[in-house]
Each structure stands twice: as structure tokens, then as C-alpha cells.
Structure 1
Amino acid sequence: MKQADSAAKTKQRVSDEQRHLVLELRRRHSLREVAEATGLPLGTVKTLVSRSGIFRDNEQHRAMFTLPLISASTETLPSVPELPPQEVVTGDKEVDAVLWLRSIISTGQTALIDRAMEGAKKIRTPLDVLEKRYRDYLVAANPGHLFAAMSSFGFADLEALASRAIEQHHLRQEGAARFGDDLLADTEAESFCIEALRGLEQSGPLLDFDKAQIAARFNTHPDLLPHTLADCLYELGYWDQLYRLRNAVDRDASEGPPEATARDWFVFGLLAQIRPRDKAEALAVFRYLIASQRDDMAESEAILCNLIG
């Protein structure tokens, strides 16, 4: 009986202020470090953190930052896609033939690409030689233009072109299946970002929003904040895929509103603040840094320090 009374008193001694402090510290420190900093038993800290629920994935947040489901298309596609027209561009028949094959490959249509790759095998002159001839043509046709030859780079690499074209074609199909005709319209998540940052002014050479103001605004919407590093990666994946889908359709309209970009960088910064729940989550963030090529960003060192504790 005395032990039960003692346990009850221990629970009562945890004030709301202590509970808040524990949860705030847990965002940046291990459970043991929080216990040492607050003077509370490790078991009490674990219980407070577990019962709070804020260190579990935030389902409401994920619902906001989720792409629409893919719907079956009702569009009837032609059984045999049409070939792009063959044109005289350089006057060099072999170079123009390769340019035509590249235009066929760029459609992303597998059936046409297969035919183009077979056609390329019939060209007797090595493709790298034709690439040099095309480069010479570009330089001669654009005298004094320092970057004229750049259009010829990769001219001979039809395999790489095919790989990119197929990926872009699949992205265009996915974008249509998810958004229909509304791919370039603001998503619900983008509208939220626009509203959250309404009134903030962009400044500086890159016309950025102030980071502190961004954080303050988004922090007033705790229901839509990532609770875990996994939540952060989930949202960052949303922004990345949305960009890729749009970029496959219209490169000039793929960035989205600046408020969405600000949100992306805000969440990226949270990778340095939210503690990993386990080694697997830390490893997932590390892999993201490498795969996304953001490992050289200003926040990256702080993120890595957060991962290793």
C-alpha cells in the first residue's frame, strides 16, 4: 500500500511545467539526457514521452502532405503512336537521321523507342563521330556563341536519352492519373503554406522569407508539424515528387509557390532538431541526404550531428 501511495505521489510531483520541459527537451536529446537534465527518473520520462503521442508519426500531417491517389485513365491511347516528322536540320543526312531518332526517343513511347534503337544500328558511321560533326555544325552556325556546342553534348548517347525519356513519360502519365488537368494548380498543402505565410515579405538577393518568421508561422499550426524524422522525410518526399511530376510536363511551372519552397526548407531544417527514434530512422535520414544531394547544404552538418547524437 505504501508503495502505491509513493508511486501516486511521484506522479503528482510531475507538474505541467515539467511535463512541457520533458517534451521540449526530448525533441533534441535522448531519453537519458532528458532524465538527467530534469532530475526525473528515466522511467517517468519514458512514460511522459510515450503518453504524449507527439513522438509518434503525425497522421494528420501525413494526410495533408500526400499526393492524390492514382485513378484509372479513361483516355483511349492510339495502339500505334505516330512518328515525329523527319526534318532537314543540318544537311548532313546521317546527323539529321540521328536527330530524328532522338526526337522519336524523346517521346518516351517504348514501342517507338525500340524502333529507333533498331534504326540506330543501321547507321554505319560511329555515333561519336556524328556527335563531333554535329558539334562542328553548331559552332559554324552560331559564330561567336560560347555555348553553341553544348547542345551536342550527349548526342551519341541514345541509351541515356531513352532512359530519361521513359522516366519522363511515366511521370507525365502519373501526373495525369493523380491530378487530371489540375497538376499545375495549387494543392491543398500549397494553399496551406500560402495562407500560413501570408503577409511575410521576401527580401535579399534571392528574395527569401526570413527563416525565423517562417518557423514562427508554421509552429502556430502544431497539428500539421512533423512529429518524427520519418514525418519529415514523408513531407520532403511529397514536395520532391510534386516537383518531378510538374517538371515532366512544364519545366517553367514546376517550382510551385515560394511559400511551398519555404516550407520545404523549414522541414529540411527540422532534420537537425527532431531526434531520431532509433538507428533505422537515423540511417534513413542519412540516406536521404546523399540521395537528394542536399548533403552539402548549410544545415547538413547540424543534421549529421543530430543523427549521431
Structure 2
Amino acid sequence: MTTTTKQRVSEQQRRQVLELRRRLSLREVATATGLPLGTVKTLVSRSGAFRDNEQHRALFSLPPIRESAETLPAVPELPPQEVVTGDKEVDAVLWLRSVIGTGQAALIERAMEAAKKIETPLAVLERRYRDHLAAAHPGNLFAALSSFGFADLEGLAAGAIERERRRVEAVARFDNVLADTEAEAFCIQALRGLKRGGMLGDYDKDKAAQRFQAHPELLPHTMGDCLHELDYWRQLYWLRNAVDRDCSEGPPQAYARERFVFGLLAEMRPRNRDEAKAVLRYLIEHQQIDGADGDAILENLIG
């Protein structure tokens, strides 16, 4: 009869396993430490360090949607018609664009129906509008370029409806969407006293990372956590943009945090193929796959 002696793992070995696991696969960690694969799996599982961090996700989440007290007018008001260019058809399209810009679905529907009655092709009217701008602002190239997209009423309508949807959502989620959130307050506190530098006035990435790592309870544990937080920053930006385009950006400390979390995607190992695919889809969807940072994340994904 043979007996098996259970291998004791020191605290130093446990920490080494967890540190290596952030960069290596389970099998690679076992090889690097000389520990059995089963022991490595157990240490990683019991640590909880590679399960989604619920405390982190709670902070980096939008507040729930409340029943909005905002009431819309029963009959939305039409913008006034104005003579802008003197070309009746061009001015008619300009007015339809202002109607669409209200974001009110009922008015937009009426505007799109009215656009169908314009006999001259919209592309022709766009050229006439561009010629008007060029004549009215000689030598100003940007004035003429402002006619770009003049004929794309469908695209304008889709954008206006989406912007209004986000504005209503912002009102339903926040008392004041432009005020610092709890997540932003945390970022500001974490980087307090750290100086900004460089031409763009950004925080040093390594120094900012050290500050954020000093709060392990709010660190992402998984790539899924990273994607969750990055989605939070993106949604917050667009909700603010819908309310005030000039105040879409948050504080610079929040941008430093976003860069830090994005960088973690090049360091953490995916837990499984589905998580790796989710990161790849994120890079493609948000056009982040090119450049040094995107390449580093791809190298990490393929291992």
C-alpha cells in the first residue's frame, strides 16, 4: 500500500503563482514553479483573484434608470422657416435638417415625408449649397466643407434620434450627468498630487498605474472586468455628449484610468476562448486593433 504526501505550498509560492498567472497559462505557471498543475489550479481558484471583481463592477457602472419626471410637449414645435441662401429648394432642405435636429420622432417622420416631395435630387442641392457657401465666404475652405453630408437626411435622422434617446437616458439615470461620478471622484483622489506633463498634459502612465494599483479592491480581476469598465467610460461619454457636446469629456484623471485599464488587456491572460474573443471583438468594433497598444493586446491573446 502506498501513501501520497500532500505538497505544502508556502505563502511565497502562492504569491508567485498568482503573479505568474496574470501573464501565463495555468500549465505554464505549473512548469515555471515546479508545482503540479492541479495544485496551481486550486491556488488560483481559491484566491478569487481571477473571478470578476464585483466591488469594481459596482463602482464602474451607470446608475439605474429611474422613471423620468420629464414631460415632452404634446405637440412638438416646428423650428421657424428662414431665408438662408435665397434658393428656395436649398433653404427647404436646411429647414428640414433643423426639424430633424430636434430629435423628435414625430417631427422627423414628417420631415422625411416632406423630403420625398422635393423634385431636385438632394445631391444636386448639396452642390448648390456648397457653391453658395464658397461664394459667401471666399477663400474659406472650411466654409465650403461644412456642406458635406447636406444631402444625407436619413443619416442625420438616425443620428438625431439616437442622440435624443441618449439625452433622455441621461436624464433618467443622473440628476446631473455633467457632475463628477463616484468613479471619477475615486480617480481624482487616487491621482491627487501627481503632476501632469508632456505636450498634451497627460499623467505619466507608469506613475498613474502605481497609484491605481495601490487600490487592489478596485482593480479589474479579469479581462471581462476591463471590458466592463471601458464600456462604462464610453457610455458615460455619449450620455454627456447628448446633453452638452462641449462637456462630453470627464476629468483627466478618468482618462488616465481608462488608459490604465486598456493597458491591462495586454497583461492579463484570458480565462478562456470566449473572453479572448470578446476582447478581439472590442478591438475591432472600436477600431483599437492597430498601433502599438493594439498589437500588444493581440500578442497577449494569441499567447
TM range (shorter): over 0.9
Aligned to 1:117: 112
Aligned length: 303
- Is 2:155 aligned against 1:160? yes
Q: Distance in 1 between matches of 2:224 and 2:3?
A: 39
Q: Distance in 1 between matches of 2:198 and 2:206?
A: 15
- Is 2:283 aligned against 1:289? yes
Aligned to 1:177: 172
* Partner secondary structure for residue 292 of structure 2: coil
Q: Distance in 1 between matches of 2:288 and 2:244?
A: 24
- Is 2:217 aligned against 1:216? no
> Residue 3 of structure 1 aligns to which amino acid in structure 2?
T
Q: Distance in 2 between matches of 1:223 and 1:2?
A: 44
- Is 2:67 aligned against 1:72? yes
User: Structure 1 residue 243: deviation in Å?
Assistant: 0.3
Aligned to 1:101: 96
- Is 2:139 aligned against 1:139? no
Where structure 1 has 5 or more consecutive residues not aligned to the other structure, the ranges are none
> Residue 48 of structure 2 aligns to which amino acid in structure 1?
G
The counterpart of 2:258, out of the listed 260, 264, 269, is: 264
> Residue 130 of structure 2 aligns to which amino acid in structure 1?
R
> Residue 236 of structure 2 aligns to which amino acid in structure 1?
L
Aligned to 2:186: 192
User: Structure 1 residue 3: deviation in Å?
Assistant: 3.0
> Which whole-Å deviations, capped at 9, do the CAs of 1:12-68 have from their partners, x for residues lacking one?
2x1100000000000000000000000000000000000000000000000000000
Q: Distance in 1 between matches of 2:233 and 2:3?
A: 53
User: Structure 1 residue 144: deviation in Å?
Assistant: 1.0
Q: Distance in 2 between matches of 1:308 and 1:235?
A: 23
Q: Distance in 2 between matches of 1:277 and 1:33?
A: 14
Q: Distance in 2 between matches of 1:156 and 1:26?
A: 55
| Cα distance change on mapping 1:72 and 1:297 into 2, 3 Å | farther
User: Structure 1 residue 177: deviation in Å?
Assistant: 0.5
> Residue 225 of structure 1 aligns to which amino acid in structure 2?
L
User: Structure 1 residue 121: deviation in Å?
Assistant: 1.2
Aligned to 2:29: 34
User: Structure 1 residue 105: deviation in Å?
Assistant: 0.6
Larger deviation: 201-210 or 71-80? 71-80
User: Structure 1 residue 292: deviation in Å?
Assistant: 1.1
> Which whole-Å deviations, capped at 9, do the CAs of 1:143-201 have from their partners, x for residues lacking one?
11121111111101100100111110101011010003x10000000000000001111
- Is 2:201 aligned against 1:207? yes
Q: Distance in 2 between matches of 1:210 and 1:298?
A: 17
* Partner secondary structure for residue 143 of structure 1: coil
User: Structure 1 residue 90: deviation in Å?
Assistant: 0.7
Aligned to 2:81: 86
Aligned to 1:251: 245
> Residue 31 of structure 2 aligns to which amino acid in structure 1?
E
> Residue 24 of structure 1 aligns to which amino acid in structure 2?
E
Q: Distance in 1 between matches of 2:271 and 2:252?
A: 31
User: Structure 1 residue 2: deviation in Å?
Assistant: 6.4
Q: Distance in 1 between matches of 2:121 and 2:296?
A: 50
Q: Distance in 2 between matches of 1:298 and 1:305?
A: 10
* Partner secondary structure for residue 70 of structure 2: coil
Q: Distance in 1 between matches of 2:147 and 2:187?
A: 41
Q: Distance in 1 between matches of 2:178 and 2:3?
A: 63
Query: Which TM-score applies when normalising by structure 1?
Result: 0.96
Aligned to 1:62: 57
Q: Distance in 1 between matches of 2:291 and 2:75?
A: 46
> Which whole-Å deviations, capped at 9, do the CAs of 1:49-104 have from their partners, x for residues lacking one?
00000000000000000000000112222122111111111111111100000000
- Is 2:41 aligned against 1:46? yes
* Partner secondary structure for residue 61 of structure 2: coil
